[in-house]
Amino acid sequence: MKQLTTEERREYAKRATETRHKRAILKAELHKGTLTPSEVLDNLDKYPYMKRMKVSEFMRAHKGIGIAKAEKLMGELKIPSVRRLQGLKEHKAKELAQTIEQYSK
């Protein structure tokens, strides 16, 4: 593996911080209900920083869904716990959005 220079390390750290900040803002919007799960999952190209987010973290960003419920729902939907949003097939993304909307009311 290539050794990073101090400048490269700073740049990567800066990008990672920006990504975490953007995700936090989007998760807050999902929690408030100003953004729906369908809007995010149907437009992942618009939200590229969400592609690497785990499905379980995405689910927990919604009201009424905690760790236990997210694990239970992922089991029912047959989504592995390590799956990330970019790894979902279209039909699974739709199922996930419908399930979240049903439980987060």
Residue 26, in any domain of the structure: yes
Residue 31, in any domain of the structure: yes
pTM of the model: 0.88
DSSP string over the chain: -PPPPHHHHHHHHHHHHHHHHHHHHHHHHHHHTSS-HHHHHHTTTT-GGGTTSBHHHHHHTSTT--HHHHHHHHHHHT--TT-BGGG--HHHHHHHHHHHHHHT-
Residue 52, in any domain of the structure: yes
pLDDT score of 91:
95
Residue 90, in any domain of the structure: yes
**Looking at the predicted structure, is the pLDDT value of residue 105 above 80?**
no
Number of domains in the chain: 1
Q: What is the pLDDT of residues 21-62, one digit of tens each?
A: 999 999 999 999 999 999 999 999 999 999 999 999 999 999
On average, the pLDDT of the chain sits at 94
Structural domain span for residue 53: 6-103
Residue 54, in any domain of the structure: yes
pLDDT score of 21:
97
pLDDT score of 1:
78
Residue 1, in any domain of the structure: no
Residue 68, in any domain of the structure: yes
Residue 76, in any domain of the structure: yes
Structure tokens at 56: 């379980």
CATH of the domain at 80: 1.10.8.50
pLDDT score of 31:
94
